[in-house]
Amino acid sequence: MSPGNYWTEINGLQIHYSQAGKGRPLLLLHGLLGGSFCWRFNLPALAEQHAVYAVDLPGSGLSDAPPDTDCSMEAQTARLGQFIRKMELSDLTIMGASWGGAVALMLAALDSDEITDAQDTAAKAADTAEIKMQSRRIRSLVLCAPVNPWSGFGEKRINFLKGRMGGCLLRMIWPVSCPLHGLALKRMYGDPTRISPGSLEGYVSMIMRPARSRNLINILRNWRNDVDRLQGMIGRVKVQTLLAWGTKDGAVDIRSADRLRQVLPNCELALFPGAGHLPFEEVPGEFNVRILEFLTR
C-alpha cells in the first residue's frame, strides 16, 4: 500500500507526514537526521492492519525549520502532542527509533493521569502551552534502540560538537560532507552489504536541506538536559512496550536494554541477530513480522 504525503501546521511550522492504511493508529518517529523515509520498508506492511502516520519532525526529513528553532526532545514532544490531538488519534501505538524512541518515551510519560506539574514545566521549557495531552491516548510503545540515560555511546562526540568550536567545525564542513555520509550509513548496519539501492541518496537528500546543520546543533546542545529529564520521567511509563534491538548496534549500547527492562514494568525485548542500529531497514521482513505480532497481542 503506497502512502500519501501530507502537510499540517503546528505552531507556525509546516510538518510533513506520510499516511496509509486503516485501523488502530500507529505513529512512527524517526531517529536523528532521519525522516519518514526511514520507514519506507515498513509502512506499507504495517498499513495492511493499521492506520500508519510517519512524521517528519521539524528540522528533519522534509520538514524544514528556521536555524533558531528549538529542536530538543522536549519541544518535539510538545509538537507531537499537538499533532496527535489534531489528527484525533487515540488507542495509539508509537514506534520510535533511536532519538525518536526517547521522544516516544517522553510522550508516554506525559500521557498519564498523574502528571500535572511535570507537564507544566515541560510546556514552559518548550515555549508552548500545548504539551498536555488528553489522558490515556497511548496504548503501547515499540522502541527501536531508543536513546536512554544508560547508554554512553557517542557522548564524547556529542560533547565536542555541541561546543562552540565543534559547532563551528560542523557548520563549516556540512556543505562538503557528502563523501562522509556513505561511511556513516555503513556504520549503522551490522552488515553493510544489506544497504539497499537508493538508501544513501535518500539520506543525503534529507541531511543537506536548508538549516539542517544548525537544527542538529540545537538538538545536541539540548541533549544532556533532555536525557536527564527523560531519566526522571521514564518510570511513569506503564504501557506495554516492545524493545527492538540489533545485536550489532554501535550507536546505542544494547546492554542498556537490561536497565530499560527493569524500569519499564510491561516490557519485552526482541533481538535481531547480526543487525545494527537500523533493524527496520536492515532486516525489514523479519522486523515487520515481529512488530505486527506484538501489535496483534
User: Which of the pair, 128 or 270, is modelled with greater confidence?
Assistant: 270
Q: What is the pLDDT of residue 159?
A: 84
Look at 89-103, 129-143, 144-158 and tell me which has the smallest mean pLDDT: 129-143
Q: What is the pLDDT of residue 126?
A: 47
Q: Which residues pair with 5 in a beta bridge?
A: 18
- Helix, strand or coil, per DSSP, at residue 12: coil
Helix (H) or strand (E) holding 144: strand 138-144
Q: What is the pLDDT of residue 248?
A: 98
Average pLDDT over the chain, rounded to an integer = 91
**pLDDT of 121 above 50:** no
Backbone angles phi, psi at 87, to 5 degrees: -85, -5
Q: Could you tell me the CATH number of the domain that includes residue 121?
A: 3.40.50.1820
Taking only the tens place, the pLDDT of each residue in 209-220 is: 999 999 999 999
Q: How many domains does the chain have?
A: 1
> Residue 160's domain spans which residues?
4-296
For residue 75, count other CB atoms closer than 10 A to its CB. Answer: 26
Q: Is 175 exposed, middle or buried (0-12, 13-18, 19+ CB in 10 A)?
A: exposed
DSSP 250-291: SSS-TTHHHHHHHH-TTEEEEEETT--S-HHHHSHHHHHHHH
**pLDDT of 152 above 90:** no
Identify which of 240, 237, 279 has the alpha carbon closest to the alpha carbon of residue 142: 240
Q: How sure is the predictor about 52, in pLDDT bands with cuts at 50, 70 and 90?
A: very high
Q: What is the pLDDT of residue 2?
A: 77
Q: What is the pLDDT of residue 119?
A: 45
Q: What is the pLDDT of residue 97?
A: 98
Q: How sure is the predictor about 122, in pLDDT bands with cuts at 50, 70 and 90?
A: very low
Q: What is the pLDDT of residue 160?
A: 80
Q: What is the mean pLDDT of residues 180-186?
A: 94
For residue 11, count other CB atoms closer than 10 A to its CB. Answer: 16
**pLDDT of 263 above 90:** yes
Q: d(Cα 225, Cα 132) in Å, to the nearest integer?
A: 20
**pLDDT of 268 above 60:** yes
User: Which of the pair, 250 or 123, is modelled with greater confidence?
Assistant: 250
**pLDDT of 26 above 60:** yes
Q: What is the mean pLDDT of residues 94-98?
A: 98
